[in-house]
Structures are given as structure tokens and as C-alpha cells.
Structure 1
Amino acid sequence: MRVLQIGHSPDADDLFMYYAIAFGWVSHENIAFHNLALDIQTLNQKALQGTLDISAISFSVYPLLFQEQCLLRTGVSFGKGYGPKLIKKKGKSLKRNFKVALSGAHTTNAMLFKIAYPNARIVYKNFLDIENAVLSGEVDAGVLIHESILQYDENLEIEREICEIWCALNKQDLPLPLGGMCIRRSLPLSVAIICEQMLTKAVKIALENKSLLSKMLEERNLIRVDSNQLETYLNLYANEDSISLSQTQLNAINALFKIGYDYKIYTQILSVEDCLIPLEYADFRNS
């Protein structure tokens, strides 16, 4: 039995898409997973370091690690007219060099924010601490992610949606690429293909058994929102579009990579099609 280390965030969509495996609904005779729930910036850092076999990541970090990691087609989260929110205290005017709290240097929202607000003074915090940092006056503004976008203090208001920045930069009607998954290239290709199949099946089964799985996650206190908010959040980020990358989603990722190159965040332009596991290997191997 090969046991692989897999990292995902503790937010509801990642838990929902993975836990069909944790609950034993999806399994394999030769492969098992040991899962770790970590905040997205820690996952990005671990992916850069190659310390996990499989990890959830921000799409924006992938060009920095593509030589060591392949992208998986499944477990993806996109924003279609919604996503992270730049918030501030109601009535507050932000100066050009306002102080802002972001959830991590390698997150997609951080990349887009830094392009739109090059003079902002950035501090990085755990995403759970950003709202209080704004309320306390420690920072002038903050970017809320995950379930925090659903409900926040009544003394706060939205300054700008990150998806607005995305739309202005890509100039196309494309969804905002937020989170995906990667797998170490050093794993045998046959193992990587099986892992992608298992994770894809887990997302499918989760969606087919949405009510039951949601109830089980709630009963085990694995999520931070109530049942109504969970339903809303899963509809946004863990849905039919999360099962496997579509051509529109591939186009969106390529647009993100090009924006990063144009703004000198990346040293070369990647084509996402070249970053995926070559599934034809399985057919060739078994032919």
C-alpha cells in the first residue's frame, strides 16, 4: 500500500470535495491518502517546497512550481462574477498607500490585488484574522476569502470585488481561476493517473450525495458555517464545474498565466495544456 500525503484547505469546498475519500466512499487497493488541512498560503509554500505528494494550491502559484508539479484536472474552484472581496470600514476613504491584509503572497487574489494597487502596503495574515484586523484599525482594508465572503461585520463594506480586477485585466468573459490541485512529477505516472481518477470520483460522489455529505461534515464540526451558508458556498465553489477542467476554465488559467507574465510575475508564459497529466499514457501502457 502506497500512502500519499495530500493537503487541502479547511474551507468547506475543499473538505466537501475530498471527504468522500476520508469517509471511505472512494478507495483503491494499492493507494491510500493521509490528509492535512492547512491554510492556502501554507499549502502554496509546501507545494513550492515539494513536501506534499498532492496539494490544493492557488492557480497563480503554479507557474513557480510547474517543473516539479503537474496540475490535476479536478477539485477546482472558479469565481463566475464573484470571489474574494476587498473590504474596509464603512465610509472610510483609502489613500494610494493604504495598508491592507492579504491571505498570502502566492494567492490568486494577492496577485491580482498587487497589479491593481501597486502602492498599497501589504501585510499577510491567516484568512480568519483579516476581518478583525480591519475592524480594529490595524489595517485600512483586507481581502476576504473562503466562507468569509458570505457574512462579515455590519460595520464593513466592499471597496472592490477582486473579480472586477480580473475582468478588467483579461478583457474576456472568463471565470476567475482561484484554486486547483497539483501532484509531484516524481511520482510514477501510473500512480498519478490513479490519484487523479480517485479525486475526480470523490468530487462526483460528493455532488451526487450532497445532502448526506454536508450533514456528515456538519455533525463532525468540520465546517465553520451553518447549513444555509454551506449550501450557498458549495453552490459557488464546489459544483459541477469542479469535477474536471473545461475548455473555458483552461482558457481562463492561460489568461491568468499571461497576465502574470505581462506584469513580470512569471519569467515565461505557460500553456496549461502542457501542465496536465498525460492521460494517454494509460492507454499506451495497457495497449
Structure 2
Amino acid sequence: MRIHVAHSPDSDDAFMFYAINHKKIDTKGYEFIDVLSDIETLNKEALKGTYEVSAISIHAFPYVADKYALLSSGASMGDNYGPMVVAKEKFDINQLKNKKIAVPGTLTSAFLALQLFLESKDFNYEVIPFDQIIPAVKEGKVDAGLIIHEGQLTYKDEGLECIVDLGKWWYEKTEGLPLPLGGNVIRKDLGEKVMKEISEILKESIKYSLEHREEAVDYALKFARDMTKEKADKFIGMYVNDLTVDYGQRGKKAIELFLNEAKNLNLIPDIPEIKFV
């Protein structure tokens, strides 16, 4: 059976799926096909149920829960760190609502976290591809930018200042919970048996990379967008860790709280029962 696995062309996702792509583990007769695309495009494709397995933003899950279940592995969580709003010069966070902010997509968890931080959906923003946000801020096309992925480690090299780290804000607000950003989902129409088997294979792939870090990082460097190996390794460690192997109770609690807070502010529709496979 062919299984399309759609994910971002980033070093952390490449690290997670290294063992599958290089046949380092038993894939139990399944043929896995990589599909690479930015996270906002993947969110939109998930609305249509395009791929059997896909990375999505946790923000997008309520919109696709009729078609997909969350896999118990593959989480990207910011544990006292996460997406940041950056600018050329420091300014008071109370001024954020009056600034034009570049964002990487309206279904991203970073965008929902920013809405929660501002306690509003009404602010001035412009959707820009995530890898063009830092240049847009530097060139003065926007006042500030909401950065995700490797930009969280490279923005200082570009001469930018952090206005707020939303992962740190969430950690303090929730007294120690990680900020749920991304997860892997699997289509329900595959059936329970296939869903469970694929879940086990994907979990084994993540565990293999963590146990064979050097070779997996070397592979992931191809997707690290000009980062040094040291920075790429640090970034991968931020988003591929024990919570990625399994959400655990702490991760599940974080997702429930994140979505409930958003629902209370009418930022998302009703939250379905969250099923983990």
C-alpha cells in the first residue's frame, strides 16, 4: 500500500523521517512517498483530505478532525520557546496591535498563539511565506514578523530584535506547559489496523533518528537552509525530542488547553474529541 507522507521541507521533519526514507527500519510492506510543502499549504490540503499522512498545525486540527486522527508521535512543541515576533528595533509589546505584522499563514499555530497573546483576531497582518518574513522585516515592508522554523535561531544574525517569544509566554501563562505547534495526522478512512501499523512505523522512525543522531542530522542538514551543523542540531533538538516520540499526558493537556483557550475567544470552531492513534 502506498502512503503519502506530507511534511515541511525542514531539518526537523527530515530528521524524523530519515529512517523511513533510507529504509533503516522495517516498513511492513508499506511504500512511503515523501511530499514536501510549506505548513500552510499542508493545512489547506488537509482540509481536502489529500494525503494519507500529513504534518499539520495544531490550529488546523479542529477543521480536519472529521477526516483525520492525530498520531501519538510527531509533535512539534515549543517547551519554553517557540514562534517569535521580531522587528528591526525593540518596542513595547503593548504597541503590537498597532503594528503591521507579517505572518506565515492564518491556519498556523503560531498565528493562533499570536491571537491568544493579543486576545484578539482584529489586528493588522499580512500573510507572507515563512522564509520571506525576515527579509520583509529587514526591508521595512512590515513593522514586525511572526517567525517559525529556523528563523527562531537565525533572526539575531539578521540584526533583528525579539519583541515576544510566544513559546516562553505560553509556558509562563500555563505554569509549565509546552506550546503545541505541529502534529502528524492520519486519515481515518484507512481503518484502525492500518492506522495503528503506520503509527508504529512513524514512531520507530523518530526513535531511530534519536538513537542514531549523527547520521540523521547529517541527512537533515540538506534541509537546514544555510544553517551550520551546530545550529541545525540545536534546532532539531528543540522540536524532535521525547514529546515527539509520544505526546504523553503533558503534551495532550497542552493541546486541549491551547484549543480550549482559542474556542473561548471564538478564534476556532467547536473542538471535536481529540483522538490519538
User: Same fold, TM exceeding 0.5?
Assistant: yes
RMSD of equivalent CA atoms: 1.7
CA distance in 1: counterparts of 2:66 and 2:104, whole angstroms: 25
TM-score of the superposition, structure 1-length normalised?
0.89
What amino acid is aligned across from residue 43 of structure 1 in structure 2? L
> Which residue is 1:55 aligned to?
54
**Shift of the alpha carbon at 1:261?**
1.1
**Could you say if the C-alpha distance between residues 125 and 210 of structure 1 is closer, same or farther in structure 2, counting changes exceeding 3 Å?**
same
Is 1:86–1:158's contact at 8 Å kept on the other side of the alignment?
Answer: yes
Q: Which stretch has the larger CA shift, 122-131 or 108-117?
A: 108-117
Is 2:180–2:251's contact at 8 Å kept on the other side of the alignment?
Answer: yes
1:250 aligns with 2:245: no
1:145 aligns with 2:144: no
**Shift of the alpha carbon at 1:86?**
0.4
> Which residue is 1:172 aligned to?
175
**Could you say if the C-alpha distance between residues 95 and 250 of structure 1 is closer, same or farther in structure 2, counting changes exceeding 3 Å?**
closer
Instruction: Say which SS state the counterpart of residue 237 (structure 2) adopts.
Output: helix
What amino acid is aligned across from residue 71 of structure 2 in structure 1? L
Is 1:100–1:121's contact at 8 Å kept on the other side of the alignment?
Answer: yes
The total of aligned residue pairs comes to: 271
> Which residue is 1:281 aligned to?
none
> Which residue is 1:115 aligned to?
116
Runs (4+) of structure 1 exceeding 6 A deviation are none
Structure 1 segment 119-134 matched on structure 2, within 5 A? 119-134=122-137
**Shift of the alpha carbon at 1:244?**
1.1
Structure number with higher relative contact order (C-alpha < 8 Å, ≥ 6 residues apart): 2
> Which residue is 2:265 aligned to?
263
CA distance in 2: counterparts of 1:265 and 1:92, whole angstroms: 26
Instruction: Say which SS state the counterpart of residue 223 (structure 2) adopts.
Output: coil
Which is higher, the Rg of structure 1 or of structure 2?
1
Structure 1 segment 1-287 matched on structure 2, within 5 A? 2-91=1-90, 94=95, 96-117=97-118, 118=120, 119-152=122-155, 153-167=157-171, 171-218=174-221, 221-224=222-225, 225-272=227-274, 275-277=275-277
Is 1:254–1:270's contact at 8 Å kept on the other side of the alignment?
Answer: no
CA distance in 1: counterparts of 2:7 and 2:217, whole angstroms: 17
Identity %: 30
What amino acid is aligned across from residue 154 of structure 2 in structure 1? Q
Q: What are the superposed Cα offsets for residues 22-77 of structure 1, whole Å, 9 maximum, x if unpaired?
A: 01112334311111111111111111111111000111110111111000011111
Q: What are the superposed Cα offsets for residues 180-200 of structure 1, whole Å, 9 maximum, x if unpaired?
A: 100111112211111101000
Structure 1, unpaired ranges of 5+:
278-287
**Shift of the alpha carbon at 1:125?**
1.3
CA distance in 2: counterparts of 1:134 and 1:104, whole angstroms: 16
